[in-house]
Every structure is written in C-alpha cells, then in structure tokens.
C-alpha cells in the first residue's frame, strides 16, 4: 500500500469533508450568489469531460487511440440507448477487452 | 413523486396522509440507495483497476463519500498523475457539496455533532430527495433516510466491487476503458443545455491539448478552466 496514495486519499477526503462542513458553517448569503452557484454546477462538467479524454486517450504524454477508445464508443452508444450506468460501464469494458483479445 | 392518498372511511385522515407520505419518502430513499449501490460496485472495481488496494477503495468510500470526487481521484492516480493533482481534481469535483448546505441546513436545523454527521451525508442524492419534498418534516426524513441508505449501500457495494475486481485481470477485462465510460456516464446527465455542452467540449479540448504538454494529472485541472466558457459575469440580473 503506497504511502503517496494514502496521503493523497486522506488529504483529499479531509478537504472534501471540509467543503461539505464549510457549507454548513458559512452564512448562506455567501453561497447563494448566482455566479457562485453556476460555476459550482459547471465544474464537474468541465472536469469530467477532461477526465474522459485523459482516461481514454492519454498514454504518458501522448494521445493514442486504442482499445480504450473502442470501449468508450461502445459505452457512448449504450448511453444514447439510455442504458443504466452499470450497463454502460460493462459494455465499455467488454468491448475494450474484446478488442484486446482479438488484436 | 409522492402521492398523498386521501382516505374516505378512516377517521384520522391527517395521520394516514402523513404515513403515506413517509412511506413514499422511504421508498425514494431506498431506491436511490440501491441505484448508488450499482455505481459503488463500479467504483470499487475501477479503483482496484486503477491501482488502489481494496482497503484504500473502501477507505475512500467511507471517508470521502462523494462519488464524483472519488472517481476523479482514482482516474488521476490511475493515469499516473501526482497525488497533488489527484487531490485537486477530487476537491474541485466536491465543491458543489458545499453549496448543498444552503438548501438543506434551513430544513434540518441541527446543531453540534449532528451537524457534523449531516455534513458528511450532504451529497447529491440526499439533497435531491430532501428538496423534492413539499413538507419540511418529509424533507428532513428524506435527507436522513437517503443519506444513511446511500452510505450503507455505497460502502457495501464498494467492498464488493473492489474485492471482486482484485481477483481478475483488470486490463484484459477492459476495466481501464470502463473508467472512461464511467466518467462519460456521470457527465452525460449534467449536460442539459448549450452552455453546459460548451463547457464539456471545452474541457475535453483543453485536456487533450494539455496531455502532450503537461505532466500527468495537470490536464484534468486545466480542463476546469472551461467553466469560463459559460459564465457571464456582466448580467447579474439575469434569472437562472
């Protein structure tokens, strides 16, 4: 169990909890600003989009298209077909696994 | 949502209405809990695939207890990012939990240690069920039942997924691709209008451009700048 990973886990968990608790402790007026709310609502959108790209196409410092991209396309199709989350994930895994097995 | 059945023959209509309302809230809370269990199994499995031990995956689900941040952390660490980049990504994805208190605190009116407990349970699901209720008492019930149900089921599911994935070959099974699809699955429901779509595409583009230029972990953080594509600070009177 890598010490770096534990340090990252514990500090990330601590800050996330501080964020949750902070919301309970600061005056509501501060957080009710429309700009603050809009930015907070869109942060996950920006970050998740970045995470998709990095997870699927990054290989160290290069962008590559491999079995992971095939898996993502399959998962995206499942999403468009309104499949539940778990099905989307399984479809992506199965597709990537199949591409790897066949190549 | 919750149907309030008005009884015709019983002599205590208010009490019956109250019980029906409470049952409806319990049903919502439990179904949300079960749904989060499905996500939790994915999280546990993908955490293992990203290099975490089962203990680490479970610790995350107990201590951090917020899905988006947890997925982000394992994504960045799994892609070779530094611990700092992982922490920053998780934190940015957790910012919205701080805002939920604005909606939930007036409803719950708790103090002291119960406030700390309520804070840990302040996540998307508990806030959504709490704020969907018309009656404040049902809102409070919704918050606590959903919070506890998600906590129990999310953690049990994480354990199941982490241990299950620990005994298989995660690369051969394409679980690294599954992490990407999980991010897409979390992203899709949040892209509900044009500005959100702009932010999503902008984030993807920023990350893609940054991959060859920056160390692992940093491209995701740069993607956060894409929120600037939707923010219009010059219109303070515009209604949302």
What confidence tens digit (pLDDT) does each residue in B142-165 have? Answer: 999 999 999 999 999 999 999 998
Q: Is the pLDDT of residue A48 over 80?
A: yes
Q: From the list B56, B183, B200, which residue is nearest A55 (CB)?
A: B183
- In this predicted model, what pLDDT tens digit does every residue of B27-41 receive, in sequence order? 888 888 888 888 899
B174 contacts A79? CB cut-off 8 A? no
- Weakest mean pLDDT among A71-75, B1-5, B138-142: B1-5
Mean pLDDT value across chain B: 87
A45 contacts B199? CB cut-off 8 A? yes
Residue B214 to chain A, least CA–CA distance (Å):
7
Find the closest chain A residue to B77 by CA distance.
A5
Q: Which residues of A touch B95 (CB under 8 A)?
A: 19, 40, 43
A12 contacts B69? CB cut-off 8 A? yes
Find the closest chain B residue to A36 by CA distance.
B99
Q: Is the pLDDT of residue A87 over 70?
A: yes
Find the closest chain A residue to B238 by CA distance.
A34
Q: Which residues of A touch B237 (CB under 8 A)?
A: none
- In this predicted model, what pLDDT tens digit does every residue of B162-210 receive, in sequence order? 999 877 777 788 888 888 888 898 889 889 899 999 999 999 999 999 9
Nearest to B106 by CA among A6, A79, A24: A24
Determine contact: A64 vs chain B, CB below 8 A. Answer: no
Determine contact: A77 vs chain B, CB below 8 A. Answer: no
B97 contacts A71? CB cut-off 8 A? no
Cα dihedral value B30, B34, B36, B38, nearest 10: 180
d(C-alpha A37, C-alpha B234), whole Å: 15
B97 contacts A53? CB cut-off 8 A? no
Q: Whole-prediction pTM value?
A: 0.78
| Residue B17 CB partners (closer than 8 Å, separation 6+) | B4, B5, B6, B7
- In this predicted model, what pLDDT tens digit does every residue of B6-24 receive, in sequence order? 545 555 888 877 888 899 8
Determine contact: A65 vs chain B, CB below 8 A. Answer: no
pLDDT of residue B80: 87
Q: How far is CA B99 from CA A96, A101, B67, B133, in A?
A: 38, 46, 16, 19
Helix (H) or strand (E) holding A59: strand A58-59
| Residue B214 CB partners (closer than 8 Å, separation 6+) | B222
A51 contacts B183? CB cut-off 8 A? yes
Find the closest chain A residue to B90 by CA distance.
A12
pLDDT of residue B230: 84
d(C-alpha B147, C-alpha B166), whole Å: 28
A58 contacts B98? CB cut-off 8 A? no
Q: Is the pLDDT of residue B234 over 80?
A: no
pLDDT of residue A37: 82
A9 contacts B174? CB cut-off 8 A? no
pLDDT of residue B3: 47
Determine contact: A79 vs chain B, CB below 8 A. Answer: yes
Q: Interface pTM (ipTM) of the complex?
A: 0.87
Q: Which residues of A touch B173 (CB under 8 A)?
A: 93, 97
Q: Is the pLDDT of residue A22 over 80?
A: yes
């Amino acid at each position: 169990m890598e010490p770096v990973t534990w340090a990252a886990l514990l500090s990330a968990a601590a800050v996330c909890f501080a964020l949750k608790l902070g919301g309970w402790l600061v005056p509501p007026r501060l957080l009710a600003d429309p700009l603050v709310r809009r930015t907070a609502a869109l942060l996950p959108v920006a970050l998740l989009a970045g995470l998709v790209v990095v997870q699927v196409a990054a290989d160290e410092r290069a962008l590559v298209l491999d079995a992971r991209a095939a898996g993502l396309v399959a998962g995206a199709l499942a999403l468009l077909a309104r499949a539940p989350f778990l099905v989307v994930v399984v479809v992506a895994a199965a597709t990537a696994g199949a591409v790897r097995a066949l190549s | 949502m919750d149907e309030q059945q008005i009884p015709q023959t019983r002599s205590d209509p208010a009490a019956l209405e109250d019980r029906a309302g409470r049952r409806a809230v319990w049903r919502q809370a439990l179904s949300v809990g079960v749904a989060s269990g499905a996500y939790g199994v994915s999280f546990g499995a993908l955490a293992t695939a990203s290099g975490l031990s089962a203990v680490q995956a479970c610790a995350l689900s107990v201590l951090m207890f917020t899905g988006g941040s947890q997925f982000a952390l394992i994504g960045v660490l799994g892609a070779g990012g530094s611990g700092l980049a992982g922490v920053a990504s998780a934190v940015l994805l957790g910012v919205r939990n701080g805002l939920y208190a604005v909606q939930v605190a007036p409803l719950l009116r708790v103090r002291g240690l119960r406030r700390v407990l309520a804070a840990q349970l302040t996540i998307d699901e508990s806030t959504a069920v709490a704020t969907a209720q018309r009656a404040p008492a049902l809102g409070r019930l919704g918050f606590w039942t959903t919070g506890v149900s998600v906590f129990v089921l999310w953690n049990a599911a994480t354990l199941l997924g982490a241990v299950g994935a620990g005994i298989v070959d995660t690369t051969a099974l394409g679980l690294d691709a599954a992490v990407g699809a999980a991010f897409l699955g979390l992203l899709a429901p949040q892209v509900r209008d044009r500005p959100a779509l702009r932010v999503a595409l902008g984030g993807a583009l920023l990350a893609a451009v940054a991959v060859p230029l920056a160390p692992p972990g940093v491209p995701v953080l740069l993607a956060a700048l894409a929120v600037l594509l939707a923010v219009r600070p010059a219109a303070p009177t515009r209604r949302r």
